Structure 1
């Protein structure tokens, strides 16, 4: 039986159906996607008209390898969600996997869809006591920002070579010190996924990269089939990875927005219990109630069934948005009980 669909952030249409208003009236802070993006180049008509060439794919993968600090050429995928769907095929004989939890729900869903049991664990060390052939962790984690140090991941992978260690680094762009892309491919049991859209603020492009040793990379490539990534996505990525100046500017904007959002939360007396560069995880007493109270003022955030007292809040893009967030949190009574 296929598990029920998971509710994600970004469901603005649903919020508008409940609370009204046009998209321009809403402050959508429900996702962990950067509110800033690179200026998009005008794409040649041929990019839209023809299938992408293998040489284009290789060039973008080479640029991604350089950008993310990989030791091997990655596999380009149409969003890391597509790679998550294929993770069970990397360990086809596994009857059980361990997932550092709570975390992004689609990891569990992809395995349960294939009738593979999931063992939630709190730490890598706890997973060592299980009989699993694969361990999955997000680093930094979504939604609580939990970080696992690189030496700890590397040490675990070396000590448990019979286990596949799969790391989702969707939120690691501002924390390269945590990244294992340089070890993936060198260590045969390491797989690292990187998201293009979150840092670059271009989630709609649907692009990601997976770093793995050749045998595992070939499984992903074979399962996806030809032309899995569109020509426009490749062209946009080539442009983005080549603009070191614009990447640096994006980093400065994200850092400034992070500081503004933190200040707004502090002034609203909201307790921050976790964070990444792109979102904050906050204790508010009743997450669902606060989410609805904020939505009544057309501010959208994310609540969680697994942590009912908490919400996740994305970055306010400017000072006006930060003030609006601060004041609506005060009106919503968003304080830890």
Structure 2
């Protein structure tokens, strides 16, 4: 006989507050120094995650359908080894079980099997005295059940609570506490129920608040008294070693998917595998670039891959390695989320691709217990072998099964199976079917070690500070950083294909190149776009020509360039014989510009917005404040078209001495088509035009200017800009998780403090980034990273994670 103090938290129906009270009790009792064991009736994976967070012990499930009635008490005792008290959370309403099963696998069924006193939590928000009738019915409906106490939830006022409490106590059931309405402690919902505790950054703080609230409003001593009154149990604790055994003296590694996307698995699953001689190694498919070393088996359980699909898709190195592992015959079990992850895609995002199937999310919930049979001989058993299982998902997989279906569910084939593969929607509790765990472990023992990934590149501390030749830092451009086979994060030109209408315009420009180019239509198109007069516009062969025109336009007395900034203005001014002054924006200020730092006698001021390489978007008011008589202010807006809505642009501002330079190179993927323009003070524009040689802008470039100034282009520009924002967020968030200092960028790149030597180290790892020490005001601890599609970004991030330290 085993004595285990215990209570079971139940409710008349879902939504009354079982999880709130049960988890709150676990947390409050744990805070009192008690060892608390948390359990959940039914197949639910999410609530046990909260239980584990509240108690510091694994959450456990008690489900007669999945494991059989005879194992419920042994599994309870196994999970509660060494505990002072066990708290069991019910499922649905107290008497709701398997449909058509007369309450089988219900909370009441488990309470009866385990002879556990029930604490009923009742939502009284829409009733008062009638709650007495509800409790009376719950107490008398099943005579072998003990409803030992009630907690009233969601009381609206003390008077309301007193009315309901009096009615309940008239039934002979004591009221143990009253919880008032408090939305602050509710766990947020998702399409499959509660958000898993592993995904809630505030979960620990919320539990602390919940524990305090329950301790304040629930009589914990009375709850413990009920728990201690529970009768002794005539059973032995379940022991995985009684059900499986090692078949060799080896300890093969089974890689188990974990992290935020894969939180669903029964605690007994890994315990059985360990008892069968396997070594469990957790890995995070959203973050880890490779499988654990020595992997000989794969267990991909349940979770929310659809929520983290972007991160899963972006981890290309692990996806490729997993696909090869499955195809190479590494024994693999995939349940529900694991099934989706092994498909070619999930809602259009690329997944592992080991299964010839596509997965999509739907609005329809599939929730059911099943008694399937194996549809074919495969990894976990022989055809015709039956099991108990459940499925719980809002997705579909097409096709629903492979040539050898894993299951037959009421005659319908489902899942994918093979000698080393088991993948389906169904979840099986291996404590109830230990032969499946044994077969999987036996196959793992017999498997060869999966070939590990190549070793990471050498430590950054051993790498040179640069391995790209550098003659004149101011003439260093990102395009020299790239090379054959290198993943390009150095050149900040969009990788998106050009729109068809732009390709057509370029072809027409080439076709018209049999005559000298005529820039009149391009001037008019730009003037219309920005609401300027024709005299306020000058078409140029890119921004670079504009800077050289500016440098030659006047004998500048004191030209100033705001840095860190694109160095072409310095080069142009220096080539024209000018001595250039610098105004340095500081990283500790977020590279913000302080207008007071610009010398009062500066007659030329050049500033980028957003600035290359910092990505800083200066407020238009700050830049306008630079304008004064006798001064020309040049604002380089080469990347403004990447800013949705262009809120800080000065292209429509008419101020004396103000000119804005724009480039079409970056957004429209045209580095080889030198196309740009200047808009601004017509007097300054005229001076610049006098420096421009005839026909400096080619026919294709002029055609591109016209095409990208029209209404269709503006719609496409906004779409591309918003996409760049989304993709930049993936990069910034990933770097932030690594603890990398990143500038607040509005551009299609970010400036990141990767540490000395990392630029060259990444190059050795096959990734090109733009060194930043060629920009005045920056050193070689900084690098500029172009925004790329999430797949490429994840390759960069997974490579950076292999660094031992950040310098």
Is the pair's TM-score, using the shorter chain for normalization, greater than 0.5? yes
Distance 2:599 2:473 in 1: 29
Q: CA deviation at 1:258?
A: 1.6
| 1:221 and 2:689 aligned | yes
Q: Residue 544 of structure 2 aligns with which residue?
A: 81
- The answer on whether the counterparts of 2:675 and 2:704 sit within 8 Å (CA) in structure 1 is no
Distance 1:63 1:100, change over 3 A: same
C-alpha offsets along residues 122-164 of structure 1, whole Å, 9 cap, x if unaligned?
33221144x321111111211112332111222331xx22211
Identify which of 120, 133, 153 aligns with 2:582: 120
Distance in 2 of aligned mates of 1:165 and 1:252? 29
1:328 to 1:143, Cα distance in 2 relative to 1, 3 A: same
Find runs of 4+ consecutive structure 1 residues off by over 6 angstroms: none
| Residue aligned with 1:173, SS | helix
- List per-residue Cα deviations over 1:150-198 (Å, max 9, x = no partner): 11222331xx222111111112123422111111xx2221111011111
Q: Does 1:63 align with 2:533?
A: no
* Contact 1:274 1:282 (8 Å CA) reproduced: no
Match runs of 1:1-337 below 5 Å:
6-12=475-481, 15-16=482-483, 22=484, 25-40=485-500, 41-42=503-504, 43-44=507-508, 46-53=511-518, 57-67=519-529, 69-73=530-534, 74-90=537-553, 92-122=554-584, 123-129=594-600, 131-157=601-627, 160-175=628-643, 176-183=646-653, 186-242=654-710, 243=712, 244-286=714-756, 289-305=757-773, 306-317=778-789, 319-332=790-803, 335=806, 337=807
Q: Is the 8 A contact 2:541 2:675 kept in 1?
A: yes
The question of whether the paired residues in 1 share the 8 Å contact of 2:636 and 2:661 is answered with: yes
Shift in Å, 1:292: 0.9
Q: Is the 8 A contact 2:675 2:697 kept in 1?
A: yes
Structure 2 residue aligned with 1:19: none
Separation in structure 2 between the aligned mates of residue 300 and residue 193 of structure 1, nearest angstrom: 28
Task: Answer whether contact 2:474 2:567 (CA < 8 A) is retained.
Answer: no
CA distance in structure 1 between the partners assigned to 2:798 and 2:531 by the alignment = 43
How far apart in 1 are the matches of 2:527 and 2:802? 46
* Unaligned ranges ≥5, structure 2: 1-471, 585-593
The 8 Å contact of residues 619 and 648 in structure 2, kept in 1 or not, is answered as yes
Distance 2:620 2:648 in 1: 5
Q: Secondary structure at the match of 1:312?
A: strand
RMSD: 2.2
Which deviates further from its counterpart, 277-286 or 248-257? 248-257
- C-alpha displacement at 1:282, in angstroms? 0.6
State the match for 2:433 in structure 1: none
Q: Is the 8 A contact 1:136 1:167 kept in 2?
A: yes
d(CA) in 1 for partners of 2:524 and 2:539?
10
In structure 2, the CA distance between the partners of 1:248 and 1:120, relative to structure 1 (3 Å rule), is: closer
> CA offset at residue 272 of structure 1?
0.7
With a CA cutoff of 8 Å and minimum separation of 6, indicate the structure with the bigger relative contact order. Answer: 1
Could you report, residue by residue, the CA deviation over 1:54-94 in whole angstroms, capped at 9, with x for unpaired residues? xxx22222322344x3533321100100111121233x232
Judge conservation of contact 1:145–1:276 (CA < 8 Å) in 2: yes
Find the aligned partners of 2:635 and 2:598 in 1 and give their Cα distance.
14
The range that moved more, 306-315 or 250-259, is 250-259
Offset of residue 332 of structure 1 = 4.5
Name the SS of the counterpart of 2:630 in structure 1: coil
The answer to whether the 8 Å contact 2:605/2:632 transfers is: yes
- Distance change >3 Å, CA 66–CA 293, structure 1 → 2: farther
Deviation at 1:4, TM superposition (A): 7.0
More helix by share: 1
Give the deviation of 1:100 after TM superposition: 1.1
The whole-number CA distance in structure 2 between the counterparts of 1:154 and 1:220 is 21
Cα separation, 2, equivalents of 1:8 and 1:320 = 25
Q: 1:233 to 1:332 in 2, by over 3 A?
A: farther
Cα distance change, pair 76–239 in 1 and its aligned pair in 2 (3 A): same
Q: TM-score, length-normalised on structure 1?
A: 0.84
Q: CA separation in 1, counterparts of 2:540 and 2:804? A: 42
Quick one: structure 1 residues 150 and 249, their matched pair in 2 at CA, closer, same or farther if it must change by over 3 Å? Answer: closer
Contact 1:268 1:327 in 2 (8 A): no
TM-score by length of 2: 0.37
Q: What SS does the aligned partner of 1:145 have?
A: coil
Residues paired across the two proteins, number: 312
Moved more, 256-265 or 274-283: 256-265
